[in-house]
Amino acid sequence: MTIQHNKVLQKPETFYDTFVRKGDSELKATHYCPGCGHGILHKLIAEAVSDFGIQDKTVVVSPVGCSVFAYYYFDTGNIQSAHGRGPAVGTGYKRANPDSILISYQGDGDLAAIGANEIIQAANRGEAITVFFVNNAIYGMTGGQMAPTTLIGQKTTTTPYGRNSHSEGFPIRMSEIIATLEAPVYVERCMLTDAKNITKTRKAVRKALKAQIDHKGFSFVEVLSGCPTGWKMTPQEAKNWIDSALSKYFVPGVFKDVIEEREPIIIKSEKPSPEDYHKLMGLSHLSEKEDIVPTPKKNSFHEELKIAGFGGQGLLSLGYVIANVAMGHQYEVSWLPSYGPEMRGGTANCSVKISDKRIGAPLVANPTTLIAMNKPSLEKFVNDVVSGGTIIYDSGLIDTPPSRNDVTVIGLPATEMADKLGSTKAANMIILGIFAYLKKQILSDQYIRRALPRILKNKAFHDINQKAFQTGFDYADKHV
């Protein structure tokens, strides 16, 4: 007769046959102490992974703590992570490889202390991962220090007089916390004591993994587990202490189970061909012919602009347009804003450099042209303008004209003029018209008109931008 394998309970295939990564001669036994709960949970997980037939696509993230070496045992893909960061590592992995099954295996220090944020956030995003959380109320690997789940009065090497709530606070109940979040689909606390509870844990492990296999989202199983060494007890005493103390504070139970109600989320992303990338990024919307003035670089040209005023006057945009236009004429350009909080109200300015040669420093210290749209800006930069340069300022907003007689000064009430056209926001385009007129030997005004809708894409302003540009251009024709 053929023997049925399910008639034999033996080391699941998801364990390595020999634990060669341990690097010692003990190739069949774990590094865990006698009676340690980790081994029991490992076995339940390995069995479930084998039974579900997901061994090849499973990746286990090992934490820092006693189970740091989980990769010695699980014959799956393995990633060892930094202390507490398993859920973040798992998130990155699963996002990059959504077809995998990702297990984050963590202890109480790892998950509830140093990694408390990572677990909460991964749970809250509903990452499609499964977290197994071994709560043994102590730091095992480092030699028995207090864990965030250490009970009040429990003695550890860092609470030698017993944990005191006035000093160390209270043990943290992670399952309860995670169950309050919207995204997780399954949260249960179990314990590894007697046959009945181990069976419950076995079911919980399988249910949590099944939820991930079915694309239901984030599942979390907390396991109260014995640490005879850390607790300085025999394995039997440890088991009894879970029963009589630990499980009284960390009460086992299902805290959340909405697996059935949740629809599966299957991530299928379209992967366009790289040939289409330029188009997708908006880098190929115009042909070269349309975009470039065909007779460039006839002129030696060097211009340094400082454009300054209130945030919201569109001055960074003005600089952007000028730089774009000059680039269309195949000049070298740079545009540099004053950035950060200044942009959000208050004053704003930008530096634009245009040159027929490679541009060095992008910051304009001594502008050849200053465009000042408010008084503080004019005052700040007026003396920086090079002798023989140009100052364009809004005479409607600035009552005292610049006190320089070695520069060309053009004052016009640009904002008022723009207001008459229908929007004060178009003042910048009036100034553009002025600037274009001044540089008409070098920059084609026809090109500017043609390029404007491409550079400033907001269609609502296309008409008024053209009108304002013309207004400025005409004004300069008459007055300059």
Partner 1 sequence: MKKVLMKGNDAVVRGALLAGCQNYFGYPITPASEIAEGSALLFPKVGGTFLQAESEIGAINMLYGAASSGVRCMTASSSPGISLKMEGISYLAGSELPCVIVDITRGGPGLGNIAPEQGDYNQIVKGGGHGNYKLIVLAPNSAQEMCDLTMLAFELADKYRNPTVIMADGTIGQMMEPVEFPQPVTSFPKKDWAVKATAETRENLISSIELDPDRLEVHNQKLQKKYAIIEEKEVRCEEYRSEDAEILLCGFGIVSRLLQSVVDEMRAEGIPVGMIRPITLFPFPKKIIDVYASKKNVRFFNVFELNNGQMVDDVRLAVNGRKPVFYYGRMGGNLPTIKEISGEIMKNMRQS
Partner 2 sequence: MSASKGHVIIKASECKGCQLCIEACPVHVLKLAEKLNHMGYKPATYTGEGCTGCGICYYTCPEPGAIIVFKGWDTWSEKAMCPVCQKETKVYHAKNGKDVVLCTECLNPIP
- Residue numbers at the binding site for partner 2 (CB under 8 A): 1-3, 5, 7-13, 15, 17, 26, 28-30, 32-40, 42-44, 46, 73, 194-195, 198-199, 202, 228, 234-236, 239
Which of partner 2, partner 1, none lies near 15, with the C-beta cut-off 5 to 8 A by kind? partner 2
C-beta of 89 vs 223, nearer to partner 1: 89
- As a whole number of angstroms, the distance between CA 65 and CA 32 comes to 11
Distance in Å, CB of 223 to partner 2, minimum: 13
Smaller CB separation from partner 2, 33 or 258? 33
Q: How far is the CB of 96 from partner 1 (least distance, A)?
A: 4
Both structure tokens of 221: 């199983």
5 binds, among partner 1, partner 2, none (CB under 5 to 8 A by kind): partner 2
Q: Are strands 302-310 and 347-355 parallel, antiparallel or unpaired?
A: antiparallel
Q: What does 46 bind: partner 1, partner 2, none (CB cut-off 5 to 8 Å by kind)?
A: partner 2
Closer residue to partner 2 in complex, CB, 34/360: 34
What is the C-alpha to C-alpha distance for residues 162 and 153, in angstroms, rounded to an integer?
Answer: 4
Three-state secondary structure call for residue 135: strand
202 binds, among partner 1, partner 2, none (CB under 5 to 8 A by kind): partner 2
Q: How far is the CB of 266 from partner 1 (least distance, A)?
A: 15
Residue whose CB is less far from partner 1, 132 or 241: 132
Q: What is the rounded distance in angstroms from the CA atom of residue 210 to the CA atom of residue 98?
A: 15
Q: Which is nearer to partner 2, 25 or 405 (CB)?
A: 25
Residue closer to partner 1 by CB (options 80, 470) is 80
H or E element, residue 404: none
Query: And the tokens for 343?
Result: 């942009």
Report the residue number, 74 or 255, with the smaller CB distance to partner 2: 74
Which among partner 1, partner 2, none contacts residue 288 (Cβ within 5 to 8 A by kind)? partner 1
CB of 23 to partner 1, least distance (A): 6
- Sign of the Cα pseudo-torsion (459, 463, 465, 466, in order): positive
**Radius of gyration over alpha carbons of the chain, in Å?**
35
Residue 239 binding target from partner 2, partner 1, none, CB below 5 to 8 Å by type: partner 2
Best CA proximity match to 137, nearest among 108, 161, 168: 108
> C-beta of 184: minimal distance to partner 1 in Å?
16
| Closest distance of CB 272 from partner 1, Å | 6
CA–CA gap between residue 249 and residue 167 (Å, rounded): 19
Please identify, using beta-carbon distances, which residue of 45 and 352 lies nearer to partner 2.
45
Q: How far is the CB of 34 from partner 2 (least distance, A)?
A: 4
Which position has the token pair 């026809």? 446
Do the beta carbons of residue 84 and residue 110 sit within 8 Å? yes
> Which residue in this structure is represented by tokens 């160390």?
168
CB of 1 to partner 2, least distance (A): 6
What is the CB neighbour count within 10 angstroms for residue 477? Answer: 12
CB crowding 249-280: b at 16 or more within 10 Å, else e: ebebeebbbebeebeeeeeeeeeeeeeeeeee
Binds 314: which of partner 2, partner 1, none (CB < 5-8 Å by kind)? none
